[in-house]
Amino acid sequence: MASNTQHEPTPVEQSFLNWFESTGGYLSPDVSLHDFTLQGMGRGMKSNKRLERDALLFSIPRYMLLGTRTSTLPSRAIAADEKAASLEAQTNPHLFTWQSLSGGWTQLLLVMLWEHFRSTAEGGAALNDSLAPRGSMDDEQDNAGGSVGPSWGPYFDILPRNFDTPMFWDRQELQDLEGTTVREKIGLAEAQLAYRTQLLPYIHAHPDLFVGSKASANARQVESLISTYYSEELFHRMGSAVLSRSFHVNLPGQGGLEEVGEAEDGMEVEDDEDEDEEDGEGEGEENINDVCMVPMADMLNARFESDNARTFYHQDVLEMRTTQVVEAGEQLLNTYGDPPNCDLIRRYGYVDEPNGADVAELPATTLVDALLSLEGLTSTTAVHETRRADLLSRLGWTISIGFDEVHALAYLFPLSQEAPFEPTPLSPTERELRSAAASISDELLAQARVLIMSPETLEKLKKKDKLPSSRIEAREFVDGQSRGVAEIIARAIELRLEVYPTTLQDNRATLYASLSTHKRLAPLSARRRNALVVRSGEQSVLMDNLRVLKAADEASRKLEKGQGVTSEKRKDASESAGHKKSKR
C-alpha cells in the first residue's frame, strides 16, 4: 500500500541519517524513512518516486557493519587473556578467556555491549578510544592499541528499546502460547545461563578492558558501571536486536554479486563440538564472525511473499537494490525468507496474516501414542508398557536410518486472502483431496507404516535393507486387525490438537468476532492477538492435514473392502510390502 504522507525525521532518525552518510554510507534521495505504525509495522522505508528494478537504495562500507570482525574488542580481549594467562596460569587454571565464550552469540553480544558503552560520553572517555575508521572488514585485527573503527552511537540510539518477542512477555501473556512450539524455543533460560556463567564473570575478570580507566575507581563504582552498561536487561535487549535484525555476511573475495543471507538463531548456549570435526564448527553451524548488524538494511520491514528489495554484497560494500518496479510512496520490503508465524513472533515479535508458510510440528512419538490409543491400551497396564517399548524401538530404528524425530506439517491447500484465512476450498472434491495427499511427507507415511506392520515383516525389511513403501492408502493386517497408515497419522494429529487449551473455532471467534457479530468489541492486546494468530495457524495446518488424511483412510478402507482381501492374502501382502532402501 502506497503512502503519500510526508514524514519528518525525528531527532534520533536525523542523527542516524547524518551519522550514516558522514561515516561513509550512501542513501539515495529517492527513498526515506517513514512511520508505518498505522499499517502495524512501525518505522520502515518508502520510495519517494517510482523506482525501476535494480535501483540502488543505499550502500554501506563493510567497516560500518557491527560485529566481531569490525570491533577491536576481540583483539583487545585476546591480548588481555594472554597477559592474564602469563600472570595467573598457575594460580587460576580455569581462567575465563575470550575463546571460552565461543558458544552461541556470547562473543557478538559482548561486542555489542562494549561498543554501546564506548559510544557513550562516559564510555568513550573511559576507554580513551580513537574514532579513526578501520577500513575493510577483512583487515587483520588491530592490536590492543590500534584504531578502533567508527562509533556506532547514533545506530544504537535508533535500535528498538522495547521488543514484543516472547522473551519479554510475562507469565500470563505466555499462557496464550500454550500448546504451540514457540514456548519451548524462546531460550530465556539459556540466555540467562550464558550471561550469568560466561559473560558476567569474564567482564569481572577484565575490568580494565570493559570499563577502561574507571577500573581504578573503588569497587562500588566499578560495579555500578558494569550493572549500568553490561546489565542482564541490556544483554537481553542486544540479544533480541541481533535475533531480529542481524545478517549473515560472508567474507569478501568470493566473487560476483551475491545476496546477503539472514543470520540463523544462535541465542542458545551450544554444546562443545565433537573432537573429530576438523574446522571446529559443528555440521550446519554458522560462523558467528559472519553474523553482524547492518545499519540501514535493518530499517526495512518484511511481509510474507511481499519483498521488493534485497541486500547484495561486493568486495568492499553492501548494497540494497530493488528486485522489481516500486511505485512512488510504496513501502520497501526486505525478505526474511517467508518463515512461519511461530518463527516470526519468536524472532521479530509480529505475525503475518495470512501466512501460507505456517507449520505445525508433529513429534514422531505422537504416532506411537496414536497407535496405542487406537488399540485401546491405557498407561496403567503392563501390556501398555510392553507394547510402547516395542513401538519406540521401531521408531528408534527409523530415526537411526535418517528419519525425522519431528515432522513439520504444512498447508496442503492455499489460504483464502480474507479473514478467517481458511484453507480453500472449504469442501474439496475427492480428486482435490487425493492431489493434496501427495504433498504429505514420504518419511511420515513410511514411519507410520513401520509401526503397524507385523514383527516378522519388519525383520524381513531390516535384513533385506528395505524400507516400507510410503503409500498413504497402505494398510497392514496383524493379529486379525487392519490398520491404515492414514488412520495412524490422523489419530496422531487429533492427539496433537488436544494439547491446545482452546479449539480453532474458539480462537477464530476471538480473533474475528467483529466480522460475525458486527459489534465493536474490546480490542485484544497486540501480544494476545499475535499469540492467538500463531496458535490458530498451527491448528489450521493440523486440521487441513487431518481432513486429507481422513479422506485417504476412508478411501483405503473402501478399497480394502472392495477387493475382498482374505486374512491370508492380507498377511502375504503385508509381508511382501516394501522397496529397496533409497540412498539418503
Chain segment 355-376, per-residue pLDDT in tens: 999 999 999 999 999 999 999 8
Digit-coded pLDDT (tens) for 399-431: 998 899 999 999 999 999 999 999 999 999 999
Q: Which of 38-42, 267-271, 541-545 has the highest mean pLDDT?
A: 541-545
**pLDDT tens by residue, 301-326:** 988 888 999 999 888 999 999 999 99
Residue 87: predicted pLDDT: 66
Average pLDDT, the chain: 84
Give how far Cα 30 sits from Cα of 41, 55, 326, 547, Å.
Answer: 21, 10, 11, 50
Across 529-557, b (16+ Cβ under 10 Å) vs e yields bbbbbbbbbbbbbbbbbbbbbbbbbebbb
The candidate with the shortest Cα–Cα distance to 108, out of 260, 290, 270, is: 290
- Average pLDDT of the segment spanning 231-257: 82
- How many other CB atoms are found less than 10 A from the CB of residue 516? 10
Pair 450, 513: CB distance under 8 Å: no
Mean pLDDT value of segment 237-262: 72
Q: Which of 479, 480, 413 is nearest to 440 (CA)?
A: 413
The answer on pLDDT for 267 being more than 60 is: no
Helix, strand or coil for residue 251? coil
Q: Minimal CA–CA distance to 251: which of 319, 314, 294, 311? A: 314
Distances in Å between the Cα of 358 and the Cα atoms of 157, 183, 344, 345, 437 are 34, 16, 10, 12, 18
Cell matching residue 553: 483412510
Name the band, by pLDDT with cuts 50, 70 and 90, for residue 67. Answer: very high
Give the relative orientation of helices 106-119 and 219-229 as an angle to the nearest 10 degrees: 110
**pLDDT at position 539, please?**
98
Nearest to 239 by CA among 302, 303, 163, 182: 163
Residue-level pLDDT at 571: 46
551 pLDDT more than 70: yes
> Hey, what's the cell of 183?
514456548
**Contact 21/27 with Cβ under 8 angstroms?**
yes
Q: DSSP string spanning 64-100?
A: GSEETTT-SHHHHHHHHHHHHHHHHTTT-TT---SGG
Domain spans of the chain, in order of start: 1-60, 69-245, 359-580
Band the pLDDT of 48: cuts 50, 70, 90: very high
Contact 547, 433 (CB under 8 A): yes
Mean pLDDT is highest, among 105-109, 213-217, 301-305, for 105-109
* Whole-number pLDDT of residue 144: 41
Beta bridge partners of 318: 60, 313
Residue 5: pLDDT band (50, 70, 90) is: low
Residue-level pLDDT at 149: 67
The residue written with cell numbers 535475533 in the block is 243
Is residue 198 scored above 80 in pLDDT? yes
CB-CB neighbours of 410 under 10 Å? 16
Long-range contacts of 229-236 (CB under 8 A, 24+ apart): 229/113, 229/116, 229/117, 229/120, 229/123, 230/113, 230/117, 230/199, 230/200, 230/203, 232/192, 232/195, 232/196, 232/200, 234/113, 234/116, 235/109, 235/113, 235/191, 235/195, 235/199, 236/167, 236/168, 236/191
At the fourth CATH level, the homologous superfamily of domain 359-580 is Rubisco LSMT, substrate-binding domain (3.90.1420.10)
* Residue percentage of the chain with pLDDT more than 90: 61
Higher-scoring residue by pLDDT: 305, 500 = 500
List, in order, residues 6 or more apart from 57 with CB less than 8 Å away. Answer: 27, 28, 30, 31, 45, 51, 309, 319, 320, 321, 322, 332
Q: Which of 29-43, 258-272, 438-452 has the lowest mean pLDDT?
A: 258-272
Rounded Cα gap, residues 33 and 11, in angstroms: 13
Give the whole-angstrom CA distance, residue 90 versus residue 7: 62
At 3, the pLDDT band (50, 70, 90 cuts) reads: low
